[in-house]
């Protein structure tokens, strides 16, 4: 079934404190968020009518806004309440939600002090990002994540995803499903919009944070693993280290827990730990698989 373009969908979007018709939730082309990237956001998942960790996502939204100097005029409680009201109004059970805050049109220069911040919340039914069954294939990107001294790595803002988006396009054009991003030093960092894990025997390995955004799903998987007495190693991992691992998977709000079966030309032999952790995650969030 062909996806409906986002400007043609029905329903409501919470926009600056009001519920507006989906088609009427528009902005002027000369807004600072579009022209200069002054936009922060959160992606959240809805399972059986319940948002997964909504408070944590809202907290991170406000942190992101503070770091890049966006002042949100609503409280965290107001944002959380708006999210719940929108879920009821849209009458969805399993869906994806995006909360965005961006600067408006009062100025069109790099400096945007005093420019009005706008906030919007939308929720819609969502299907898998990947067409592959049984696992996906990753391609190491030529583009790399920037040095954190020039880039706020713990922040979800629009401009941060441009490099990853281009990297994923290149991967798909080469016959892969997604890109694996390296950091500026050449160590494995993440997927194009996800975190990455590897398994070896009864241990779990994941890149040490500091050069990428450590996601809420990533942290949830680490908690699950520790509860199951699985040793978790947050370490620096080079691409050539992949040959020493059994399994691999991505985590994120959108990808959830997605098995990786191949990185570049190397095929991973697989690990039951990947399926076990995925099953535990879906049980926690209440997803029926």
Confidence of residue 1 (pLDDT cuts 50, 70, 90): low
Question: Closest Cα partner for 221 from 189, 246, 198, 245?
Answer: 198
- Residue ranges covered by each domain of the chain: 6-124, 136-285
- Taking the CA of residue 58 as centre, how many other CA atoms within 13 Å lie in the half-sphere pointing to its CB? 20
C-alpha 21, offset from chain centre: 26
Whether the predicted pLDDT of 16 surpasses 90: yes
Interval 110-128: pLDDT, tens: 999 999 999 999 999 987 7
Look at residue 132 in the predicted model and tell me its pLDDT. Answer: 63
What is the CATH number assigned to the segment(s) 6-124?
3.30.470.10
Confidence of residue 289 (pLDDT cuts 50, 70, 90): low
Spell out the alpha helix ranges (H) of 68-210.
76-90, 162-173
* Average pLDDT of span 12-30: 96
Beta bridge partners of residue 206, listed in sequence order: 234
Q: Which residue has the tokens 């600056």?
A: 16
Q: Read off the pLDDT band of 94 (50, 70, 90).
A: very high
**Residue range 199-215: average pLDDT?**
96
Q: Count other C-beta atoms under 10 Å from residue 195's C-beta.
A: 25
Q: CA angle 74-80-84, nearest 5°?
A: 130
What percent of the chain has a predicted confidence (pLDDT) above 90? Answer: 90
pLDDT of residue 130: 79
- Name the residue with higher pLDDT: 263 or 127: 263
**Average of per-residue pLDDT across 257-263:** 97
Q: Which residues make Cβ contacts (< 8 Å) with residue 26, sequence separation at least 6?
A: none
> Both ends of the chain: CA-CA distance in Å?
21
> Distance from CA of residue 79 to its chain's centroid?
19
Sign of torsion over alpha carbons 233, 234, 236, 238? positive
Q: Are 14 and 120 in contact, with CB atoms under 8 Å apart?
A: yes
Find the mean pLDDT for residues 154-160.
Answer: 91
For range 143-149, the mean pLDDT: 92
Query: Above 80 in pLDDT, residue 107?
Result: yes
Q: Taking 60 as the threshold, does the pLDDT of residue 74 lie above it? A: yes
Residue 29, token pair as written in the block: 């082309």
Average pLDDT value for residue range 53-58: 98
- In this prediction, residues 161-168 reach a mean pLDDT of 95
pLDDT of residue 154: 86
Q: Which of 42-46, 138-142, 257-261, 285-289 has the lowest mean pLDDT?
A: 285-289
pLDDT score of 7 = 87
Domain covering 136-285 assigned CATH 3.20.10.10 in the classification: yes
Among 189, 226, 230, 228, residue whose Cα is nearest residue 206: 189
Average pLDDT over residues 202-211: 96
Q: Give the full edge-to-edge strand order of the sheet including 12-15.
A: 18-21, 12-15, 117-124, 95-103, 39-47, 50-51
- pLDDT (0 to 100) of residue 197: 98
């Amino acid at each position: 079934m062909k996806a409906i373009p986002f400007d043609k969908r029905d329903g409501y979007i919470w926009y600056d404190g009001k519920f507006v018709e989906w088609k009427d939730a528009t902005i002027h082309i000369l807004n600072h968020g579009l022209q200069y990237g002054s936009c922060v956001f959160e992606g959240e998942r809805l399972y059986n009518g319940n948002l997964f960790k909504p408070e944590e996502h809202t907290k991170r939204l406000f942190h992101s806004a503070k770091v890049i100097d966006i002042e949100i005029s609503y409280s965290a409680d107001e944002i959380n309440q708006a999210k719940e009201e929108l879920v009821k109004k849209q009458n969805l059970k399993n869906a994806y939600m995006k909360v965005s805050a961006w600067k408006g049109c009062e100025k069109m220069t790099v400096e945007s002090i005093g420019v009005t911040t706008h906030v919007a919340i939308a929720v819609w039914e969502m299907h898998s990002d990947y067409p592959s069954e049984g696992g996906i294939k990753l391609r190491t990107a030529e583009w790399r994540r920037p040095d954190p001294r020039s880039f706020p790595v713990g922040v979800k803002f629009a401009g941060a995803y441009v490099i990853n988006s281009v990297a994923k396009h290149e991967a798909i054009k080469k016959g892969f499903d997604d890109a694996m991003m390296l950091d500026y030093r050449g160590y494995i960092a993440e997927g194009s919009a996800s975190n990455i894990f590897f398994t070896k025997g009864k241990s779990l390995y994941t890149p040490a944070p500091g050069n990428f955004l450590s996601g809420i799903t990533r942290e949830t998987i680490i908690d699950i693993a520790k509860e199951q007495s699985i040793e978790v190693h947050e370490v620096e991992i080079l691409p050539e280290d992949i040959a020493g691992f059994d399994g691999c998977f991505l985590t994120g709000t959108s990808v959830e827990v997605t098995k990786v079966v191949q990185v570049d030309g190397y095929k991973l032999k697989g690990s039951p730990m990947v399926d076990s952790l995925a099953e535990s995650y879906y049980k926690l969030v209440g997803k029926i698989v």
